[in-house]
């Protein structure tokens, strides 16, 4: 049993718990089969997404850069493979390539997301599930930012980015044959429904989800188009 501590309190604030719940229920709603597959989870924090795959019989390798998070992960998931991985300076992970890469809430904390995407593309045989903060705009822009590295949930090195969706879409297309956008967004205010009108968006962050695949996915929940308007999922 993992006892409550300040680390858990940081990641298990009401806002974080709700945010994670909305993201995972949305991922499940996309109906992409994952049962029994091998998974690489990057930037796992304290592992609040890991159980999504464990409960589906997946073989998961859970990775994280912060020492205190790694210690917590090893206690929380003693029967799973937990490894150090700094995605600003990525190195080979035992067991690579994996069927799936799960990269939720990490990319915008990295100084070189293009390097990270290349590494992740080399680490998967099938899919990458990607969720990140982005910027509004139709331009192809990276938009570097400074993160507070003293905060456990933020950038490990203090540098991040808020790319436009177009930047991410085009970079993923360089590494994957098929790049998809869900037609729906999670039931959470940080996920915009209308990308043409930033004034409608009242949350501090705006987030987007991408699915990149080696094979064509026949799934009516996904589209190859970079949609400007999405809807909430049921």
- Residue 7 or 161, more confident: 161
Q: What is the mean pLDDT of residues 182-210?
A: 97
Q: What is the mean pLDDT of residues 63-86?
A: 96
Report the mean per-residue pLDDT for the chain. Answer: 93
pLDDT at 147: 72
From its phi and psi, is residue 229 left (phi > 0), alpha (psi between -120 and 50) or beta?
beta
- Residue 12 or 226, more confident: 226
For residue range 150-178, what is the model confidence (pLDDT) as tens digits?
555 555 556 899 999 999 999 999 999 99
Cβ-Cβ contacts under 8 Å for 177 (sequence gap 6 or more)? 213, 214, 215
pLDDT bucket at 230, cuts 50 / 70 / 90 = very high
Q: What is the mean pLDDT of residues 188-194?
A: 98
Contact 146, 222 (CB under 8 A): no
For residue range 68-77, what is the model confidence (pLDDT) as tens digits?
999 999 999 9
For residue range 111-155, what is the model confidence (pLDDT) as tens digits?
999 999 999 999 999 999 999 999 999 999 999 998 765 555 555
Q: What is the mean pLDDT of residues 103-108?
A: 97
For 228, other C-beta atoms within 10 Å of its C-beta total 13
For 100, other C-beta atoms within 10 Å of its C-beta total 21
Which has the closest alpha carbon to 136: 156, 116, 117, 164? 164
Of 1-10, 14-23, 96-105, 210-219, least confident by mean pLDDT is: 1-10
Where b means 16+ CB within 10 Å and e means fewer, 206-220 reads bbbbbbbbeeebebe
Q: What is the mean pLDDT of residues 183-195?
A: 98
pLDDT at 156: 55
For 75, other C-beta atoms within 10 Å of its C-beta total 13
Q: Which residue has the tokens 């080696």?
A: 214
Distances (CA, A) of 21 to 48, 173, 183: 9, 29, 19
Q: Which residue has the tokens 């915008």?
A: 108
% residues pLDDT > 90 (the chain): 87
pLDDT at 154: 53
**Cα(28)–Cα(53) distance, integer angstroms:** 11
Domain annotation for the chain: domains and CATH numbers:
6-232 (3.40.50.150)
pLDDT at 1: 45
pLDDT at 5: 58
Q: What is the mean pLDDT of residues 50-64?
A: 99
Where b means 16+ CB within 10 Å and e means fewer, 7-22 reads beeebeeeebeebbeb
Name the H helices within the chain: 6-11, 14-29, 50-54, 67-76, 113-122, 165-175
Own/partner long-range contacts of 65-74 (Cβ < 8 Å, ≥24 apart): 65/156, 66/152, 66/156, 68/7, 68/152, 69/7, 69/44, 69/45, 69/152, 72/2, 72/5, 72/7, 72/8, 72/46, 72/47, 73/44, 73/46, 73/47
């Amino acid at each position: 049993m993992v006892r409550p501590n300040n680390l858990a309190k940081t990641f298990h604030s009401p806002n974080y718990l709700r945010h994670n719940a909305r993201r995972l229920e949305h991922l499940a709603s996309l109906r992409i089969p994952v049962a029994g597959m091998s998974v690489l989870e990057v930037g796992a924090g304290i592992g609040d997404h890991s159980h999504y795959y464990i409960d589906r019989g997946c073989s998961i390798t859970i990775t994280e850069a912060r020492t205190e998070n790694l210690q917590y992960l090893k206690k929380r998931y003693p029967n799973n493979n937990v490894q150090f991985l700094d995605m600003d300076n990525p190195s080979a992970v035992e067991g690579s390539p994996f069927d799936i890469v799960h990269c939720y809430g990490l990319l915008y904390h990295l100084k070189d997301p293009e390097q990270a995407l290349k590494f992740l593309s080399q680490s998967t045989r099938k899919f990458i599930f990607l969720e990140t903060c982005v910027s509004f705009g139709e331009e192809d822009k990276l938009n570097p930012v400074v993160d507070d590295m003293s905060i456990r949930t933020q950038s490990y090195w203090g540098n991040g980015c808020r790319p436009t969706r177009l930047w991410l879409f085009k970079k993923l297309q360089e590494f994957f044959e098929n790049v998809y956008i869900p037609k729906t967004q999670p039931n959470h205010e940080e996920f915009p429904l209308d990308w043409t009108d930033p004034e409608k968006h009242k949350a501090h962050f705006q987030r987007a989800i991408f699915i990149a695949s080696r094979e064509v996915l026949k799934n009516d929940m996904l589209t190859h188009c970079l949609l400007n308007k999405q809807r909430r999922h049921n």
